[in-house]
Amino acid sequence: MPSLFLPDWKALAEAHRVELPEAALERLRDISRTLLGLRGMLDWGEEPAAIFRVDASEPEPHP
Amino acid sequence: MTIAEAAAALRRREISSVELTLDCLARIEKWNPELNAFLTVTAETALEQARAADAEFASGLDRGPLHGIPIAHKDLFCTRGVRTTGGSKTFAGFIPEFDAAVVERLRNAGAVMVGKTNLHEHAYGITSENPHYGPVRNPWDPARSPGGSSGGSAVAVATGMALGATGTDTGGSIRVPASWCGITGLKPTFGRVSKFGVLPLGYTLDHMGPMALTVRDTALLFEAMAGHDPRDSSSVDRPVPHCLPPEGAISLKGVRIGLPRNFFFERIERDVDAAVYFMAYTAEDLGAELERMRVPDGDQLNALAHTTLLVEAAAVHEPYYRKRRSTYGEDVRTLLDMGRLIPAVDYVQAQRLRRRILGVFLDILKKVDALLVPATPMTAPLLGQKEVEIRGQMEDTRLAATRLTRGINLLGLPALSLPAGLSSAGLPVGCQLIGRPWEEPLLLRIGAALEARTGFARRPPRFA
């Protein structure tokens, strides 16, 4: 299922008016799947995340 | 004849630069119609340069070991007054008004340029099947690919059409053709050799390097090519160390060589596996300590490298692609279109992950001096072969060919590809030594030791 991290490459290509062969679309799917998995390796303690924190369990703040 | 042998013969006055150049030109005339290694042959200016080199020798001026040596440049390097196509229709008529830094350095070292070599279009591919100028053919079997993108350079060197050549490596483009043509090629540390005047492909992945028949010749070319150049923003200001390995037998006592347990030896042809292990045991026999170890997952590294290349190449080509899309071949067009679709966030995260994985590799390279791995999982495929079968599994030829090289470009580490013998079908197998940043001299020393013991540096029989 397409998501922010796993886009629908075929739809994206069509939106850009680009025709890609199935092998190219499959390669893009492979890459995005691998990148999604790798995001776990990112150091989310790096700035700015080390300073600006969000606790998802707390209610959304209102300005 | 190798560069080192030719240089010695020139100094003994046993041969002249004109004779060396005429020999290369004769080989080009004889073999290029079949192998298609050269796009432009600069016979007239080559002979002028050779005559000048001979005159300089006669007057007592010696510019060093490349003085009077015939070499070829990949047609991606700008050459003043000589057409530079990038293997493309897009730049078919481009005649630069200046030399690339590497061309300039080699010219100043006295090298003679015999011509410009054929390549995969825009250096964006691994087979050198060029839709505009025809495929380059492998001298070990003309029905096969020589590898790419520096395919013409590898063929020129393997057949003696030139004694050395320049190449570029963005995902394996020096090491793969070196491996499939049975020669040596060095991808230096990122920042070591200037990129000025070379048509880019991936801003942070492109490496310029030498290709030659032997490790010693590769070292000679590398020493002349390397060095800081303020015209290239990624060029690093570090002195170039002495790189020439000693002649004859070399001990590897005290050298620690890592053999990855995972990824690099998985899914490779049996002949490749046997050949690279033979090189490892030869290193051990020469005194090296072998250490088996785990390395970061190569498929993940390749995904990051691919993301980076797809985006950077799309950015490089944006101005030309917009104006001249129809001049691009189908495979390159597809790759450029793919690059335009990748989200910017993915590119940025890939760069953050790149730094993390580099850290892991640098830790590994504290424990060992170099990693010894295959250069490619398989020997040269047939021209036009879209898929290869490796250990019973079908794989896209292009992805398979670069599977063991691509990630090293992302890390910017130096890597030397050298012959590891022949497969049972008589095709060359290559291995690569991957080292710490700036430690090309150590890789060249290990490579020279292996070469001296195995004697694998040789031309294809027809061209000996």
Put simply, the answer to whether B396 touches A31 (Cβ < 8 Å) is no
Is residue A54 predicted with pLDDT exceeding 80? Answer: no
What is the rounded CA–CA span in Å between residue B294 and residue B264? 10
Q: What domain range includes position B148?
A: 3-295+357-458
Q: Does B244 fall in a domain?
A: yes
Q: Does B237 fall in a domain?
A: yes
CATH code, domain with B385: 3.90.1300.10
What is the rounded CA–CA span in Å between residue B288 and residue B446? 9
Q: Does B406 fall in a domain?
A: yes
Chain B residues inside the 8 Å CB shell of A48: none
Chain A residues inside the 8 Å CB shell of B306: 27, 31
CA-CA distances (angstroms) from residue B267 to B180, B384, B403? 18, 22, 10
The rounded Cα B410 to chain-centroid distance in angstroms is 16
Q: What is the mean pLDDT of residues B70-79?
A: 98
Percent of chain B beyond pLDDT 70? Answer: 100
Q: Does B345 fall in a domain?
A: no
What is the rounded CA–CA span in Å between residue B90 and residue B95? 12
Give the 3-state secondary structure of residue B409: helix
Residues 6+ apart with CB under 8 A from B131: B121, B329, B330, B331
Q: Does B256 fall in a domain?
A: yes
What is the rounded CA–CA span in Å between residue B87 and residue B74? 9
Is residue B166 predicted with pLDDT exceeding 80? Answer: yes
Count how many domains chain B has.
1
Candidates A27, A32, A42, A43: best to mutate against B (most CBs of B within 10 A) is: A27
- Which pLDDT band holds residue A2 (cuts at 50, 70, 90)? low
- Supply the mean pLDDT for chain B: 97
Q: What is the mean pLDDT of residues A46-52?
A: 73
Digit-coded pLDDT (tens) for B441-450: 999 999 999 9
Digit-coded pLDDT (tens) for B8-65: 999 999 999 999 999 999 999 999 999 999 999 999 999 999 999 999 999 999 999 9
Structure tokens at B153: 């350079």
Digit-coded pLDDT (tens) for B98-130: 999 999 999 999 999 999 999 999 999 999 999
Residues of B forming the active site? 74, 149, 173
Chain A residues inside the 8 Å CB shell of B338: 20, 24, 27-28
Digit-coded pLDDT (tens) for B272-330: 999 999 999 999 999 999 999 999 999 999 999 999 999 999 999 999 999 999 999 99
Put simply, the answer to whether B346 touches A32 (Cβ < 8 Å) is yes
Which has the higher per-residue pLDDT, B183 or A4?
B183
Chain A residues inside the 8 Å CB shell of B299: 34
Nearest CA among B181, B129, B159 for reference residue B383: B129
Say which residue the tokens 């230096």 belong to.
Answer: B188
- Indicate the pairing of strand B134-135 with strand B129-130: antiparallel
| β-strand partners of B144 | B382
* Min Cα separation A57/chain B (Å): 26
Q: Which among B335, B349, B399 is the nearest to A42, CB-wise?
A: B349
Q: Does B300 fall in a domain?
A: no
The nearest alpha carbon in chain A to B310 belongs to A28
Q: Does B116 fall in a domain?
A: yes
What pLDDT was estimated at residue A48?
74
Candidates A8, A34, A36, A46: best to mutate against B (most CBs of B within 10 A) is: A34
Chain B residues at the A interface, defined by Cβ less than 8 Å, are 299-300, 303-304, 306-307, 334-335, 337-338, 340-343, 346, 349-350, 352-353, 356-357, 396, 399
Chain B residues inside the 8 Å CB shell of A31: 303, 306-307, 342
Q: Does B349 fall in a domain?
A: no
| β-strand partners of B432 | B373, B417
Q: What is the mean pLDDT of residues B357-384?
A: 98
Digit-coded pLDDT (tens) for B260-288: 999 999 999 999 999 999 999 999 999 99
Cβ atoms of B280 and A4 within 8 Å: the answer is no
